[in-house]
Each structure stands twice: as C-alpha cells, then as structure tokens.
Amino acid sequence: MEVSIEPSWKAHLQPEFDKPYFKQLAQFVKQEYQEHTCYPKGKDIFAAFGHCPFQETKVVIIGQDPYHGPNQANGLCFSVKDGVPHPPSLVNIFKEIKVDVQKPYPKSGNLERWADQGVLLLNATLTVRAHNAGSHQNKGWEQFTDAVIKTVSNKMEGVVFLLWGGFAKKKSALIDKTKHHILTSGHPSPLSANRGLWFGNQHFSKTNGLLAKMGKTPIDW
C-alpha cells in the first residue's frame, strides 16, 4: 500500500506496508481519525522518520505512546510542540542534560533539533485517541515499530540505543549487541526518577563519547 513516509525509510519498510496487519492498522487509524480527535496530526504520524533519514540515524530513543493532550504530540517521542508546557518526563530529561553536559534548560520542548541530527525518536505506538492513553496499543503499531528497530539493527552499524524504563528495555531483544551500543536506565517519569532510577545516568555524555569514538559527530543536546 502507499504510505507517505521519508523515501529512505520507505525503501527499507515497504515490505511491512504490504503485509495484512499493516493494511488493517491503516484502516483502523483512518477510521479513528475520522470519528475521534486523535494525536498527533495526520501529517506528523511519521515525523520521526521525516526528520531523521535512515542512513543518518546515529541514536535511537524508544518511547511508548504519544502524548494524548491537546497540541502536545508532534510525532517524536518525549517531544512537544513549541510553546507547549513541558510534560514531567521531558522536564527530567532536560534536568539530566543540564547536569550531564552543562546545557541550560531550554525554552522549547520540541526535540526536532535532536531528530535533525540523527536521533530517531520512536514511539512504539504512533497514534492515540485524545485523553485516552494507550487507546491505539495492540492494533499493529508495535509490530511495525519492532520491524523498524530490527531494520536499523540489521542494516546499520554503531547505532546507540537509549532504552529508558522496563518497556523500552524489552526492545533490547531486537538489537544485535555485537554491532550496536545499548544504554539502559529507569524511565524519566517522576515515579521512576524520584526513586533514583533516572538522574545521574549520564546517557547524553556517554552517547556522545561513543559517537566520538566511532568518528561520528556528537549530538548537540
């Protein structure tokens, strides 16, 4: 089927788009967007891929579900649109960056600036019904995004995967550890961070250290 996604990704993911599960998923998503308010906007569903072409992917961060409040989700995990208050997890991400790489806390929670440098900000589920967390889970998105992770693992080398929290850590089973780097920690949500499982993980400096060792340009977090 015809899916509007960044061309370099399309070349690798077309087999997924042609599978029965994805056709059912596309029909479900289309109907949900027609009958309910859903996020992100249709044009932003594949934004993570649009900002980070396949061959430029250096880092992968895995989230779970898009934000389900008005004007928050922009198609990149943990990211919100310019001018939108920062959700608690994003606040804790920025706090860790401030301590880890001495970057001032930013005004905007829009992480397009990371994606444009080769950070794939991938939610496991790419759509959600407004005010209904998890409403589009188990409809086929997870099968698709697992295929994305496997494709990066199989066809790239030296990618840094940041797996935050129990859900993301399970994705390590999809990654070839002989070719890639995996950093794990607790989730940046207050529940996990307040139990000492997030702050101090130094994932941002560690990622840049790994990229530098491989001769790749570090990320300006």
- β strands within the chain, DSSP E: 38-39, 59-63, 119-123, 128-129, 160-164, 181-185
Q: Inter-axis angle of helices 20-35 and 141-155, to 10 degrees?
A: 130
Half-sphere exposure (CA, 13 Å, Cβ side) for 121? 25
Helices (H) and strands (E) counted in the chain, each on its own, are 9, 6
Active site residue ranges? 65
